[in-house]
Amino acid sequence: MIDAVLQSPLFGIVLSVGAYRLGHKIQHKTRLAVLNPLLLAIAFVIAVLAAFDIPLEVYDQGGGMISAFLAPATCVLGLSVYRQFRTLRKHLLPVAVGCAVGSAVSVGSVFGLCRLFGLDEAMTASLLPKSVTTPIALGISGQLGGHIPVTVAAVMLTGILGAVLCPVLLRLAPKAHPVAAGVSIGACSHALGTTRALQLGEVQGAMSGIAIGVCGLFTVLLAVLF
């Protein structure tokens, strides 16, 4: 009976959804930004797999299906961008400059730190696209000869940290313009941060969604130069 449950793709799906739902309830109860639902869900899934000695391959039969929705979910962000098209047109130059600077700082800081700590070319290539959405990051890493698992981990960690810390950092700048707040979140923490930006407001969510695509383009160009 247990083997039949574990071999079903539904096991990974139900575990993932249940873990996220539990994490969401905890965050809603505590109102603590550090208790991000996604971060808690990851911890719960790892705890269950470790406690019952369940191989990762078994979980991935269903958990991997959820990853297939990553690209469509990112595309859905275009709806909020469409609704805020007038705002985007009004602030087009600041948005473009903000994305360019954000991408340059991200790529430049990673390159500098990798050189400082003596990391090889493959590891550097793996970490360069940490601040762009997963599909773009994997393409950059693969083209530059990076390690895909390292890239995935770096992108996930960056997104989670951005989603957790962005409310705290924005409180340090209470008068920040919604457009600036959205661009800064999307530029540094891609889709995971954008989910948090959408909770702050539709303008922040739309600008964060725009930053995902624009920063992805800038990062592709910058990664080739480095």
* % of the chain surpassing 70 pLDDT: 94
175-208 residues labelled b (16+ CB within 10 A) or e (exposed): eeebbbbbbbbbbbbbbbbbbbbbebeebbbbbb
Do residues 94 and 179 share a domain?
yes
Residue where one domain finishes, among candidates 17, 51, 68: 68
Listed in sequence order, the residues at least 6 apart from 117 whose beta carbon sits closer than 8 Å to its beta carbon are none
Do residues 60 and 109 share a domain?
no
Do residues 169 and 84 share a domain?
yes
C-alpha span between 6 and 35 (Å, rounded): 29
Do residues 185 and 81 share a domain?
yes
Do residues 112 and 199 share a domain?
yes
Residue where one domain finishes, among candidates 49, 68, 87: 68
pLDDT band at 190 (very low <50, low <70, confident <90, very high): confident
| Pick from 25-34, 89-98, 99-108: least confident | 25-34
pLDDT band at 101 (very low <50, low <70, confident <90, very high): very high
Model confidence pTM above 0.85? no
Do residues 119 and 221 share a domain?
yes
Sign of the four-CA dihedral 111, 96, 176, 81:
negative
Residue where one domain finishes, among candidates 30, 47, 68: 68
Domains of the chain: total = 2
Do residues 55 and 12 share a domain?
yes
Q: What is the pLDDT of residues 35-54, one digit of tens each?
A: 778 788 888 998 998 988 88
Do residues 160 and 61 share a domain?
no
**Is the predicted pLDDT of residue 1 greater than 60, yes or no?**
no
Mean confidence (pLDDT) of the chain: 84
48 phi/psi in degrees, rounded to 5: -65, -45
Q: Per the structure block, which two tokens stand in for 96?
A: 């473009």
Do residues 50 and 96 share a domain?
no
C-alpha span between 163 and 101 (Å, rounded): 20
Domain encompassing residue 111 = 75-225
C-alpha closest to that of 192 among 108, 126, 132, 119: 132
Residue-level pLDDT at 4:
61
Do residues 211 and 169 share a domain?
yes
Residue-level pLDDT at 22:
93
Do residues 50 and 93 share a domain?
no
Do residues 49 and 142 share a domain?
no
